[in-house]
Amino acid sequence: MMVFDSWQISQCNGSIYVSEWSAAGMRNFVNISLSIHLIPTLLTLLRFFKLEALNAGQKMMVSFLSTRSHIFFSFIML
């Protein structure tokens, strides 16, 4: 059985979607969609999560997909 929690935080013209999964082999999944002008916010979030992962001794798998107006960012904490 998979437990799923999800919440959304809207910021300016972009949205941040955060989903946390509890399942075997997958601890956290975060998918963030931001307008291009909110890239600094994205980088700040990435630094925070990367530091948290390093402090916890975890590995992080990161992927990016960009369009003309948005960046889709996701990572899985292993």
Q: Give the domain extent around 13.
A: 3-77
Task: Count how many domains the chain has.
Answer: 1
Share of the chain above pLDDT 90, in %: 0
- In this prediction, residue 65 carries a pLDDT of 59
Give yes or no for residue 60 having a pLDDT over 50: yes
Nearest to 1 by CA among 18, 21, 31, 28: 21
Q: Quickly state the pLDDT bin for 39 (edges 50, 70, 90).
A: low
Other Cβ atoms less than 10 A from the Cβ of 1: the count is 4
Strand partners, 64: 73
Q: Quickly state the pLDDT bin for 48 (edges 50, 70, 90).
A: low
Give yes or no for residue 13 having a pLDDT over 50: no
